[in-house]
Amino acid sequence: MRREDAGQATRLGPDPSHGGQPGGDPATLDIRGLSIVYRSSLGGVAAVNGVDLVLRPGEVVGLAGESGSGKSTLAYGIVRLLRPPAVITAGSVLYTGRRTQGSTIDITKSSAQELRELRWREIAIVFQSAMNALNPVLRIREQLLDGLYAHTDIRPDEALSRIGDLVDLVGIPRNRLKSYPHELSGGMRQRVMIAMALVLRPEVIIMDEPTTALDVVLQRDILSEIAQLQEQLGFSILFITHDMSVLLAVSSRLAIMYAGRLIEVGSSVAIRSTPAHPYTRGLLGCFPPLRGPKRPLTWISGSPPDLRHPQPGCPYMPRCPQATAKCSDVDMRLRPTSPDDAGHSSACPFAIGNSDTFPCEQTHRASPS
Ligand SMILES: Nc1ncnc2c1ncn2[C@@H]1O[C@H](COP(=O)(O)OP(=O)(O)O)[C@@H](O)[C@H]1O
Ligand SMILES: [Mg+2]
């Protein structure tokens, strides 16, 4: 059945096991076994394949991977904004927030009405091309007010005061509220999009390459503003980019995606210091560190696999410098990399607990020069 049309009852009872820390609050978002396929007459593209990922209250999780690895499909899938021919074929996206009053909602089963209530109010999204999505004939003030009036019964004076505070927060001078989008720079328009995402005070913001289209100086400014806002307002962020240096700077935890699968998940500290999957090491080597000493950059040779024809075993095998015949039998489940850190897991079983397994490791590890 096509899940986009499912529209079944969606509220689950409270269940602290839903990805929350033991004895702690349940996860805000708990993605379980999510699979998304683009269907076509030539066969399906398995763009997201059995993804498990948890976002806890107030947490910033970074999602990294090369272009085409399925990051945007996952982001759209979480909030059911997928368009045909994309279909959710398995899994659930469990959401538990302030406004769900202690119960948990499975977004994959939400009705159209429930989705309207959930999007923007609970889970807001900033897409890469979002700054070009502003309405060209409406002033910024009207566009921000529209979002507020569409979802709340707020009084006009309160609404004006809220959007004034918001533009202050995201670093837009208040007098720019009367500007049209074309009168603003790219950085300013992207800040407007961040303000729009925040206007209903959501619990989760999904940011899909929010700064990739901007120059590096603006990227740095906007990233530090996002970090400050997150600290001040306490929402959770799923931050998506192919740029590992940016992710390491903004995220407390990282999930690395390859060919539609998560191949490594762990704290940013663990992934930076002891990356377990050879693909993660490859990615880390491709970007200059934002802080610390300079080091030579490396690259990952080859290109990602054709998702229409998945091969058995590890999808990274054809590009992996450490691949052996055993890799074609690998089951891609994430497993803890060591008994001491249950939060750090990798899909490569050969890296686990045995650094000798990778004789070439040092050439791939991001080491200071
Ligand atoms: N409309 C579509 N039809 C078929 N395949 C698609 C479509 N959109 C994306 N894909 C495929 O899905 C995979 C994941 O794409 P995407 O989620 O955009 O990756 P990322 O955001 O990581 O760059 C890619 O292989 C891409 O070619
Ligand atoms: Mg993308």
pLDDT tens digit sequence for 64-123: 999 999 999 999 999 999 999 999 999 999 999 877 777 899 999 999 999 988 998 999
CA distances from 332 to 49, 302, 315, 363 (A): 10, 21, 9, 24
In the numeric block, the tokens 């090369």 are attached to 66
Helices (H), 63-208: 71-78, 112-118, 140-151, 156-169, 186-198
CA dihedral 20, 23, 25, 26 (to 10 degrees): 30
Our mutation pick for probing the ligand 1 site, out of 51, 69, 79, 212, counting the most ligand atoms within 8 A of Cβ, is 69
This prediction's pTM: 0.87
Contact of 33 with 92, CB cutoff 8 Å: yes
Q: Is 67 in the pocket of ligand 1 (CB under 6 A)?
A: yes
Q: Which residues, listed in sequence order, are joined to residue 258 by a DSSP beta bridge?
A: 261
Residue nearest (by alpha carbon) to ligand 1 atom 6: 38
Q: Which residues, listed in sequence order, are joined to residue 64 by a DSSP beta bridge?
A: 256
Chain segment 290-322, per-residue pLDDT in tens: 667 777 777 787 888 888 888 899 999 999 989
Q: Is 38 in the pocket of ligand 1 (CB under 6 A)?
A: yes
- Lowest-confidence pick of 99-103, 259-263, 273-277, 340-344: 99-103
Q: Is 307 in the pocket of ligand 1 (CB under 6 A)?
A: yes
